[in-house]
Amino acid sequence: MNSFHQLFQLGQQVQARMTEIQTELASKTIEASSGGGLVRVTADGQGRIRQVKIDPSVVNASDVEMLEDLVQAAVSEAQGRARKLYEEEVGRVAGGLGPLNLGNLFGGS
């Protein structure tokens, strides 16, 4: 029974630390850009997009597709950086437990 109790306590500690990590990540800012900085995206450490800035020179009614591509690229980069930050933070908690399945946390699989 003692080892079960220790395992339970360890699980509670990991859960508490994961909650702390989620709070810390929500307060972190990640920036990414595309088109040489013409489109800039700011996300939090959980991958939620907080701001999109578009340089007026890239706004062209006859080429909306290019602008859409630039926005998509910047958003993907910001979310990728957030995923990497999350994996690094969780890796510190998980130690040698092996890779964690993040599922659809950032929209991926």
pLDDT digits 0-9 by tens, 48-96: 999 999 999 999 889 999 999 999 999 999 999 999 998 888 888 777 5
User: CA 42, CA 95: separation in Å to the nearest integer?
Assistant: 30
User: CA 79, CA 106: separation in Å to the nearest integer?
Assistant: 7
The structural domains of the chain, ordered by start, are 25-94 (3.30.1310.10)
**CB pairs under 8 A, 24+ apart, for 15-21?**
17/93, 18/90, 18/93, 21/86, 21/89, 21/90, 21/93
- Helix 64-94 to helix 2-27 angle (10° resolution) is 150
- What's the pLDDT at 103? 52
Q: Residue 1 — pLDDT band, cuts 50, 70, 90? A: low
Q: Residue 109 — pLDDT band, cuts 50, 70, 90? A: very low
Q: What are phi and psi of 53, to 5 degrees?
A: -115, 130
pLDDT(102) > 90: no
Nearest to 74 by CA among 39, 28, 38, 43: 39
pLDDT per position as a tens digit, 9-50: 888 888 888 888 888 888 999 999 999 999 999 999 989 999
User: CA 78, CA 84: separation in Å to the nearest integer?
Assistant: 10
